[in-house]
Amino acid sequence: MNDEFMLFPEIDFAWNEVLDLHALLAKARESGPVVRIRYHDKPAYLVLSHEAVGAGLSDEEHFPSPAFHTKWSMPTMGRTLQCMTGDEHRRTRSLVNSAFRPSVMKRAVEGLLEPVAHQLIDDFVADGHVEIIEGFAHRYPAKIIMRMLGLPDHDETMVLRWALDLINYPWQPNEALQSSREFTAYLAEVVRERRLEPREDLLSELCRGEVDGDRLSDEEIFSLVRLLFPAGADTTYKALGSFCWAVLTQTELSGEVASDPALRSSLIEETLRWEPPIALQPRTARGQPFSWFGAEIPADAAILLAITAANRDPEIFSDPDRFDPERNARSILTFGRGTHFCLGTHLARREMDVATKAIFERCRGLRLAASEPVEVVGAILRGPKALHVEFEAA
């Protein structure tokens, strides 16, 4: 591999944890909005400015979402919305939207969020300490998705193992493919039952959802469910960890989180700007070379849209490295832009609001455990590796 004109040739953004990611991206920004780096041991292009990242997220001509996901996710997740464009995407999204409309979401989750949050906190609140990533953040969104779908709690460990294996396909393809087969067989039986005897759950909504006489096939439902866990659970749990870490280290507001909904909302938005769970969004360039933001992009080149760099672009956000819940964070690109804007945006925010209220309400005097350093890791998906906290035992 030719390292000529490549920034940080010693770093592979597919494999390295990149502890100093923000400093690295700020340094890269000095070379322009698009720079050449290493990804999966090949040259790739890192997009850094808010303008360029926003353009890339919505530019299906130059960076079609299917070009990347057909190669890296379709073998295990199936033909998800990320693999579609044009009429196919519009048709499938309209059918999925019927199951994700606000009235359905409210009915599906409002009775779940608080009980799940408090159930998890019950497991450790008497101890006065917990590693909150594994003890709460990792389990909370997964439990919500399980219950939204109407899947039994006793299957949670098994389903989570399958779901996590699916996103590791680029690194562990054999294990991912085996888990995909097992997950599909499991879902096939559940979907068959829901078609025969619908319930008040999201799977039943997906089975009976209809637009102009058209319905989702079994395989389309399988693909959506396979995507829900990594897209919903992985991102939310990392965002929850980042919220707690930011509030406890960057502010003196921990005592007000539970009682002030407006403050909590502002803290959530600033967390999503300051440390978005998807730091770099992979894409693949179209099949012909083209010029873009001053860079010559080869055909089929790997592209990394640096959402976390866009969210810290000093042209858009003043003093961008400072965590400031009073700033206007409406320009963040955390949930994407364009036709592939995240379907679960409102659910993610609602999950975070309920979870953070419960944590700071019941874990009085919440603080970091002084003896345990915090490492925020990841280049693609990013968040604290572990977060040991202490509080007044209840």
Q: What is the pLDDT of residue 3?
A: 46
Q: Give pLDDT, residue 48.
A: 98
Residue predicted with more confidence, 71 or 318 = 318
CA-CA-CA-CA dihedral for 89, 44, 39, 59, to nearest 10: -20
Average pLDDT, the chain: 91
Predicted pLDDT at 102: 66
| Confidence band, pLDDT 50/70/90 cuts, at residue 287 | confident
d(C-alpha 317, C-alpha 320), whole Å: 5
For residue 210, pLDDT beyond 80: no
d(Cα 87, Cα 78) in Å, to the nearest integer? 18
Confidence bin at 4 (pLDDT 50/70/90): low
Residue 187 has pLDDT above 70, yes or no: yes
- CB neighbours of 256 closer than 8 A, spacing ≥ 6? 263
Q: pLDDT tens, 309-368?
A: 999 999 999 999 999 999 998 899 999 998 768 878 888 999 999 999 999 999 999 999
Q: Assign 104 a pLDDT band (cuts: 50, 70, 90).
A: low
Beta bridge partners of 384: 376
Q: HSE of 157 in the Cβ direction (CA atoms, 13 Å)?
A: 1
78-92, 212-226, 265-279, 351-365: least confidently modelled range: 78-92
The pLDDT tens digits of the residues spanning 34-69 come to 999 999 999 999 999 999 999 999 998 898 877 777
**Greater pLDDT, 181 or 18:** 181
Quick check: 80 pLDDT over 90?
no
Share of the chain above pLDDT 70, in %: 98
The average pLDDT across 205-234 equals: 86
Q: Is the pLDDT of residue 77 over 90?
A: no
Per-residue pLDDT at 33 exceeds 90 = yes
CB atoms within 10 A of CB 31: 13
Give CA angle at 140 (220, 155), nearest 5°. Answer: 60
pLDDT band at residue 2, thresholds of 50, 70 and 90? very low
Question: pLDDT at position 289, please?
Answer: 95
pLDDT at 281 over 50: yes
174 burial level (CB within 10 Å; 0-12, 13-18, 19+) = exposed
Question: What are the tens digits of pLDDT across the range 122-172?
Answer: 999 999 999 999 999 999 999 999 999 999 999 999 998 998 898 888 889
If you average pLDDT over residues 197-215, what whole number do you get? Answer: 87
Question: Using the 8-state DSSP alphabet, how is residue 298 labeled?
Answer: P
* 253 band by pLDDT with thresholds 50, 70 and 90: very high
Distance CA 47, CA 314 (A): 15
Residue 100 reports pLDDT greater than 80: no
Tokens representing 1 are 């591999």
CA distance 231 to 234: 6
**CATH code of the region 21-390:** 1.10.630.10
Domain edges within the chain: 21-390
Buried b (16+ CB within 10 A) or exposed e, 201-210: bbbbbbbebe
Half-sphere exposure of 21 (CA within 13 A, CB side): 32
Which pair of structure tokens corresponds to residue 121?
A: 């906190």
What is the rounded distance in angstroms from the CA atom of residue 11 to the CA atom of residue 380?
13
Pairing of strands 302-306, 42-47: parallel
Residues 6+ apart with CB under 8 A from 26: 309, 312, 321
Spatial separation of the C-alpha atoms in residues 334 and 385, rounded to whole Å: 20
pLDDT at 295 over 80: yes
